[in-house]
A and B are shown apart, each in its own frame.
Chain A
Amino acid sequence: MEALFPLGVGHYLAGGLIIGLGVSLLFLTTGLIGGMSTVFTSTWSFVSRLPFFSQPRFVDSRAWRLVYAAGLVLGAAAWFLLAGHDDGYRVSIPWWQLAVGGFVAGFGARMSNGCTSGHGICGMGSLQLPSMLAVLTFLATAMVTARLVLMFGGR
C-alpha cells in the first residue's frame, strides 16, 4: 500500500467523494452538468465579439459558470482556513511550466470540449464512451509528457 500511496489514502478518497457530492448537488438542484473547462471559453463572451464566443451555449451559461468557479475558490479557501494547513506550501513548479502547460491544456481542453472534470467526472459518471476514450487519451499523453519534462530539465 505504502509503495502505491506514499501520502496515505484517506484524504484522496474523502476529497474524491466530496468532489462527487459537489457535482451531484449541482445536478440535483439545478440540472446543470458541472465540468470546469468551459468557463475559460464562456467568460470570453463578456468581452469578445467573435462569433465563436457569442454562441448561446456560452452566453447563456457564462454567469452560472463564473459563480461555480467562485465557489471553487471559496471551497478551497474554507479548507485552507478550517484545516489549518498554513504550512507555508508554495507551488514549486517553474513559471514557464505553468505558462506553457496552462496554455496547451486550455487549448486542448476546449478543443476536446472537456477536461479532467468534464470528461473525467461528468462524462464517465454518465458512462459516455467518447469521454472514456478522451480520459484514456489524455492520461497517456500526460504520463509521457510528464516524464519528458524531467528529461528536459523541468520539475
Chain B
Amino acid sequence: MGWLMVLASGALFGFGLALATMIRPEVVLSFLRFQDFGLLLVLGGAVVVTFLAYRFGPRLLARPLFGASFGKHPSELNRNTIVGAAIFGVGWGISGVCPGPAIAGLGAGQWELLIAVAAMLAGAWVHGRLAGGK
C-alpha cells in the first residue's frame, strides 16, 4: 500500500507540474526574466499546503498511515548548500529546467527533455565522483 501511495503522490506532483505549465522551460524562463510571475503562485500554493501537512500531520497522526515514522530532512547552513544553490540557479537559468519538471515533462510527450534528464544524471555523477565518501 505504501508503494501505491508513493506512486499516487508522484502522480499528483506530476499532474500539478503539468497543469502549472512548469514542465515548459519557456514559461520558467519567462518567469526568471520578469515577464510572468505565475511561478510565484505555483511555489506559494505548494508551500502553503506542504506547510500545513508537515506541521499538523505529526500532531494529528501518531505515525504515517502506511509507514513507521515521520521523516525529517534537515537542511544545513553551510558552504555546499549555498554555493550548490548558486550553481543550480545558473543551470536553471540556462535551461529553464529543474529536476521535477524535467522528469514530469517526459510524461507529456516532451521528449526533448530527455537531454536535460541525461545531463542532470551526468551532473549528479560528477558531483558524486568529486564529493567522494562524504
Interface positions of B from 92 to 134, Cβ below 8 Å from A: 92-100, 102-110, 112-113, 115-129, 131-134
Interface size on B, residues (CB 8 A): 117
Q: How far is the CA of A24 from the CA of B12 in the complex (A)?
A: 10
Contact of A73 among B57, B103, B123 (CB under 8 A): B103
Contact of A93 among B95, B118, B127 (CB under 8 A): B95
Interface positions of A from 28 to 48, Cβ below 8 Å from B: 28-37, 39-41, 43-44, 48
In the complex, the answer to whether B38 meets A7 with C-beta atoms within 8 Å is yes
Q: How far is the CA of A9 from the CA of B25 in the complex (A)?
A: 18
Contact of B46 among A19, A91, A95, A154 (CB under 8 A): A19
Closest A residue to B33 by beta carbon equals A146
State whether A80 and B11 are in contact (beta carbons under 8 Å apart), knowing that A102-B120, A121-B47 are contacts in the complex: no
State whether A15 and B20 are in contact (beta carbons under 8 Å apart), knowing that A93-B95, A99-B115 are contacts in the complex: yes
In the complex, the answer to whether A17 meets B70 with C-beta atoms within 8 Å is no
State whether A20 and B45 are in contact (beta carbons under 8 Å apart), knowing that A75-B18, A110-B127 are contacts in the complex: yes
Interface positions of B from 51 to 65, Cβ below 8 Å from A: 51-54, 57, 61, 63-65
Q: Which chain A residues border B132 with CB–CB below 8 Å?
A: 51-52
In the complex, what's the smallest C-beta–C-beta distance from B99 to chain A, in angstroms?
4
Contact of A100 among B61, B88, B94 (CB under 8 A): B94
The 9 closest A-B pairs by CB, nearest first: A71-B10, A101-B95, A15-B20, A16-B45, A20-B49, A106-B123, A75-B14, A145-B93, A112-B84
Task: Known A-B contacts: A31-B67, A110-B123, A135-B85. Give 9 more (CB < 8 A).
Answer: A16-B42, A23-B13, A31-B71, A52-B129, A72-B104, A73-B14, A76-B105, A91-B24, A103-B120
Interface of B with A (CB < 8 Å)?
2-3, 5-27, 29, 32-39, 41-54, 57, 61, 63-78, 80-100, 102-110, 112-113, 115-129, 131-134
Can you name 12 A-B pairs with beta carbons within 8 Å?
Answer: A8-B38, A19-B20, A19-B49, A30-B2, A48-B128, A91-B105, A104-B88, A108-B123, A111-B87, A118-B73, A130-B77, A134-B85
